Amino acid sequence: MKITVFALFILLTLSAFSFASYATTGQVHNVATSEEFAEALLTAENGDTIRLVADITHSDFMVLDTGLIIDINGHTLNIFTNIENRAAVAARSYGELIFTGDGELNITSENGIGLSAATNGKITIGGKNSNLTTTITGERGLTALSHASITLNGNIISTDGGPAMNVQNHAQVTVYGNVSGWGIVVQALTAATVHIHGSVSGNEYQPYHTIVMARDEDTFITVGGNVYGGRGVHARYGAEIVVHGDIITNTGNAVRASDASRVTVYGRLDSHITAIVADGNSIVYAYGSVRARIAGRAIEARGQETFVTLRDHAPGGVLAVYGATIVVYGNVSASTNAVSIRDSGQVYIGGNVIGNILVNGGYGNIVVNGNVSGNVRAEHFLSVTYKPIYVTLSANIIHGDIRARNATITVYANVSNTNWGSVRATHGATVKIIGDILATNHLYVNSWIIVASYENSNITIIGNVYGIIENTVRTEHGATVTIYGNMTGRTSGEGITVQPNLQLPTTVHLYLYSYYILNSVNNSILQTMDVLPILQNYRTLVPARFISYVFGAEVGWCPYSYKVTLTLGGHSLAFAIGEILPGMDVPAQLIGGRTFVPLRFISEFFGAEVDWCPDEERIEISVPYM
């Protein structure tokens, strides 16, 4: 009996520190007036329940550092304070407050914070499927600090310039409702977590405040609904934001990501100016349509390892600067420059480009799976600091002119519908076109299809050149032009070489970060892989089926011996997973249930040549017998 009593004493002592143990065993205080409610707040012990039996208005603030349940019980509870900088309801120092039951709860702080939790404090109001209607109103609607936790089934309203939600220092807040305010509406800092299942709205004419802002590593915000206001969302210093609805802004950007942050938006972006701005190694994924209504581009990306993917169209154009990468699954269009690259950048477009392509400074790598309806220019002028310009452009057909000034352009596409000086290289420029040129426009009497001028300028065409005008090729001041194909019309100048009917080996190329296997001549898609190539120990591994795509080889697989067999004509190559044959640097491997094989070793075994372009991270494979 002594052991039983002692065990009970220990149990009750430990339970004093556990609010959960009092949730069903604490005293119930039934209150019908505001006086009774205020008295119950003073006398209730840890784990007690205050149950309303009538509608009550409590004109004072509540600060709790113990556990308490308030059962609205189908009635209305109004909690109001006008004391400056005071929270209407607060839980601190491991205190826990639960509002439950059906009914209506209104918490208002006229000159301070509506709801506050700090230092491991916890507040729960209703739940995901609760019938408790809740509204939190204050100059600042909600604050959670220092590992605090708030779960709210209701709406939050900020009546002044302070944040409607301010969550910091590992605090967590979940809101099953909408949030609105005038300044920064939702702010999360220092490893805080915020989940909003409704929409977030701010002052649509406020140009200086971001509606949703996340800052610092391990800080995370999700918004289940839409975001409206002057500016959209901004993730900084390693934070992440996910928006499942639309982002609509009236004065600023829809999305900003900076300093190694990440933003994902599943809805559409409707922005006053440039819709997406990313810099400093940040990543943005946008799955809906994009529109910049007044000015600016669809996308601007700056900085090495900055990456933006848009799974729709990009009206307004894109800009990649300082090594950034932009991927657009749809079309890119603009009234002037649809694609711009400054000081290096990479752009991949799944649809068409309607507008010009301009590169000035550094490396520019552009892949267009559709057509280009506009001019292509790579220009360096003496008035700016010298930086070499190297441009690689792949497309089906380019309807426009190609001009290089003190730059290098390589084009894998046919060129048609061109104007005066359709392909032009000046001031030491180099232009290489793998494709045919068809000049269909005749705007000037003395126009030429191909023009190279000034010493060290050269143009190489691997394809045929046709035009409706007689003037085809002209060189000036020591420039050169070489055509590997047929040509009509006349030439003017020295340094012109034409080699008709030249047969070149067929080549394909792929990029380390692309699913497409492309024909290097016209950039058509030969095949689409379902997994990306893998770089391991400076060697590229590709799916075994890639070999059958490119070479037409038969691929065999023995599940018992884990052996791969590749057969082409009279040549056969067999090896097991993990086996290194003479000449291999890395073995074949099973990765994610797929068989990956070393690309260079197998390509050279079947007689192909493999070239690696490190600046573009591109692999080119010459297959003479394709």
Tens digits of per-residue pLDDT, 228-238?
998 899 999 99
Which pLDDT band holds residue 414 (cuts at 50, 70, 90)? confident
- Average per-residue pLDDT in the chain? 85
Mean pLDDT along residues 38-42 = 94
3-state secondary structure 25-70: CCCEEEECCHHHHHHHHHHCCCCEEEEECCCEEECCCEEECCEEEE
- Pick from 508, 471, 462: nearest CA to 492: 471
**Same domain assignment for residues 529 and 448:** no
**Is there a contact between 47 and 22 (Cβ–Cβ < 8 Å)?**
yes
> Which of residues 15 and 425 earns the better pLDDT score?
425
Which pLDDT band holds residue 17 (cuts at 50, 70, 90)? very low
**Is there a contact between 192 and 219 (Cβ–Cβ < 8 Å)?**
yes
Please give the pLDDT value at position 8: 36
The residue out of 466, 484, 499 marking a domain boundary is 499
**Counted domains in the chain:** 2
Percent of the chain past pLDDT 90, that is, above it, reads 48
Residue 571 lies in a domain: yes
Q: How many residues does the chain have?
A: 626
Residue 64 lies in a domain: no
On the question of pLDDT at 420 being above 70, the answer is no
Percent of the chain past pLDDT 70, that is, above it, reads 88
> Which of residues 457 and 559 earns the better pLDDT score?
457
Which pLDDT band holds residue 572 (cuts at 50, 70, 90)? confident
Mean pLDDT along residues 320-347 = 91
The residue out of 436, 464, 499 marking a domain boundary is 499
Distance between CA 3 and CA 209 in Å, rounded? 64
Residue 47 lies in a domain: no
Please give the pLDDT value at position 526: 67
- Asked which of 41-55, 314-328, 337-351, 568-582 is least confident by mean pLDDT, the reply is 568-582
**Same domain assignment for residues 525 and 584:** yes
**Is there a contact between 476 and 498 (Cβ–Cβ < 8 Å)?**
no
- Asked which of 51-60, 181-190, 476-485, 567-576 is least confident by mean pLDDT, the reply is 567-576
**Is there a contact between 517 and 546 (Cβ–Cβ < 8 Å)?**
yes
**Is there a contact between 587 and 579 (Cβ–Cβ < 8 Å)?**
yes
**Same domain assignment for residues 530 and 615:** yes
Residue 613 lies in a domain: yes
**Same domain assignment for residues 466 and 516:** no
The residue out of 499, 523, 545 marking a domain boundary is 499
Please state, as a whole number, how many other Cβ atoms lie within 10 Å of the Cβ of residue 65.
Answer: 14
> Which of residues 280 and 203 earns the better pLDDT score?
280
Distance between CA 409 and CA 407 in Å, rounded? 7
Tally helices (H) and strands (E) across the chain: 5, 67
On the question of pLDDT at 334 being above 70, the answer is yes
Mean pLDDT along residues 265-276 = 94
Mean pLDDT along residues 143-152 = 96
Q: Residue 180 belongs to what H/E stretch?
A: strand 179-180
Segment 378-408, tens digit of pLDDT? 876 544 445 578 887 877 788 888 999 888 8
Please give the pLDDT value at position 381: 55
**Same domain assignment for residues 435 and 510:** no
Residue 236 lies in a domain: no
On the question of pLDDT at 428 being above 50, the answer is yes
- Asked which of 154-158, 194-198, 439-443, 497-501 is least confident by mean pLDDT, the reply is 439-443
Segment 524-569, tens digit of pLDDT? 666 677 788 888 888 888 888 777 667 767 788 887 788 888 877 6
> Which of residues 327 and 569 earns the better pLDDT score?
327
Read off the CATH number of the domain in which 608 is found: 3.30.457.10
Please give the pLDDT value at position 571: 72
Residue 559 lies in a domain: yes
Please give the pLDDT value at position 364: 81
On the question of pLDDT at 263 being above 90, the answer is yes
**Same domain assignment for residues 449 and 484:** yes
Please give the pLDDT value at position 276: 97
Please give the pLDDT value at position 525: 66
> Which of residues 522 and 127 earns the better pLDDT score?
127
**Is there a contact between 226 and 206 (Cβ–Cβ < 8 Å)?**
no
Residue 585 lies in a domain: yes
Give the full edge-to-edge strand order of the sheet including 554-558.
554-558, 563-568, 571-576
Segment 186-220, tens digit of pLDDT? 999 999 999 999 999 998 766 667 899 999 999 99
Beta bridge partners of 512: none
On the question of pLDDT at 119 being above 50, the answer is yes
> Which of residues 428 and 615 earns the better pLDDT score?
428
**Same domain assignment for residues 474 and 512:** no
Please give the pLDDT value at position 4: 40
**Same domain assignment for residues 474 and 532:** no
Please give the pLDDT value at position 419: 55
Distance between CA 305 and CA 279 in Å, rounded? 9
On the question of pLDDT at 441 being above 90, the answer is no
Which pLDDT band holds residue 16 (cuts at 50, 70, 90)? very low
Which residues have a Cβ under 8 Å from the Cβ of 258 and sit 6 or more positions away?
A: 234, 235, 236, 237, 278, 279, 280, 282
On the question of pLDDT at 5 being above 60, the answer is no
**Same domain assignment for residues 535 and 605:** yes
Mean pLDDT along residues 434-453 = 76
On the question of pLDDT at 284 being above 50, the answer is yes
Find the domain containing 525 and state its range: 506-623
**Same domain assignment for residues 528 and 580:** yes
Residue 24 lies in a domain: no
Residue 36 backbone class (left: φ over 0; alpha: ψ -120 to 50; beta: rest)? alpha
**Same domain assignment for residues 494 and 537:** no
**Same domain assignment for residues 618 and 516:** yes
Distance between CA 174 and CA 223 in Å, rounded? 10
